[in-house]
Amino acid sequence: MTDRAFCVVRSGVLTSVQDEGRPGHAHLGVPRSGALDLPASRLANRLVGNPAGAAVLETTLTGCAVRPRRAVTAAVTGAPCPVTVDGRPAAWGAPVRVPAGAVLEVGAPVRGVRSYVAFAGGIAVEPVLGSRSTDLLSGLGPAPLTDGAVLPLGRPGGPHARVDAVPAPGPPDELVLRMLPGPRADWFTRNAFDALARGRYRVSSASNRIGLRTDGPALERAVHGELPSEGMVWGAVQVPPDGRPVVFLADHPTTGGYPVLGVVAGADLAAAAQAGPGTPLRFVPVRRSFARGPQEP
């Protein structure tokens, strides 16, 4: 086997391969998938000299550890966390040279949920429908990392960034999500909109790559009938029977039968990816278009 690869020493609670996803296949029932915090994954790639859409590792809560078979430049971004190379402290948010056989350890985040690990050349697993992303809902793409797995690396392209560190937004102390009215806003009472705007919500521990679930006031419906399944988008705010809104993220189903109250601004979804359980959450209904920003879904 080629030595342009790395071995997984510690996979962590959930570490997966992600790039910018596979948009355009919803008609086949295939979600977009891809990195939940796109600005962070793009930054990691830029630091090591990769194209913005190269495949990276996305860790969740506990980090991971890998051992490259040959020397490689890596960078860790996203949720701030300790980084070591063979036990010695290394920089977060900057290019790091990892010698052949050394262990790159990405620790648990100090704040936030998901860190991103890029390697010069990108992770060269076989693409499926044009993407190397792991899709937890449909099962497409490579499986989540397991201890002992070996993943191939591509050939490095351009030089890595010549920086000691880069500025990056930290995980939010309070998650603020701007929301346009959705296609089924008329299925909810005026009291529901008041409750949403004024309610004290928190990010639920049941959140995952499919959706950010919330704990807080239940929203009152004006229409109580059944709704036929209809198309869903990244950022859709769907309200299940318990009345507590769910914000759809990258691995969301392409259709759903619960009413969509609103759609969150694309520029706010990276912060949603980094909001840990218990983070205060505030919805801000808006009545005009907003800039999609770097996280355009």
Residues 89 and 189 reside in one and the same domain: no
The alpha carbon torsion through 263, 264, 265, 270 (nearest 10 deg) reads -140
Q: What percent of the chain has pLDDT over 90?
A: 78
Residues 179 and 141 reside in one and the same domain: no
Residues 118 and 237 reside in one and the same domain: no
Does pLDDT of 294 surpass 70? no
Look up the domain containing 133 and give its range: 5-152
Residue range 32-71, pLDDT digits in tens: 999 999 999 999 999 999 999 999 999 999 999 999 999 9
Residues 239 and 124 reside in one and the same domain: no
Residue range 222-237, pLDDT digits in tens: 998 888 899 999 999 9
Mean pLDDT of 198-213: 95
- List the beta bridge partners of residue 255: 231
Answer yes or no: is 71 within a domain: yes
Give the Cα separation of 135 and 290 in Å (integer): 28
Residues 141 and 194 reside in one and the same domain: no
Number of domain units in the chain: 2
Residue 266 half-sphere exposure, CB side, CA atoms within 13 Å? 13
Give the Cα separation of 135 and 133 in Å (integer): 6
Beta-strand pair 175-181/280-285: parallel
What is the pLDDT, as a whole number, of residue 167? 74
Residues 64 and 128 reside in one and the same domain: yes
Q: How far is CA 185 from CA 189, 232, 238, in A?
A: 9, 14, 10
Domain limit, last residue, from 97, 117, 152: 152
What is the pLDDT, as a whole number, of residue 64? 98
What is the pLDDT, as a whole number, of residue 291? 45
Q: What percent of the chain has pLDDT over 70?
A: 95
Residue range 89-140, pLDDT digits in tens: 999 999 999 999 999 999 999 999 999 999 999 999 999 999 999 999 889 9
Residues 10 and 117 reside in one and the same domain: yes
Does pLDDT of 155 surpass 60? yes
The alpha carbon torsion through 210, 215, 220, 225 (nearest 10 deg) reads 30
Using an 8 Å Cβ cutoff, are 281 and 174 in contact?
yes
Give the Cα separation of 182 and 174 in Å (integer): 23
Taking alpha carbons only, the member of 162, 160, 158, 150 closest to residue 123 is 150
The alpha carbon torsion through 169, 65, 22, 271 (nearest 10 deg) reads -20
Using an 8 Å Cβ cutoff, are 195 and 220 in contact?
yes
Is the pTM for the entire model greater than 0.85? yes
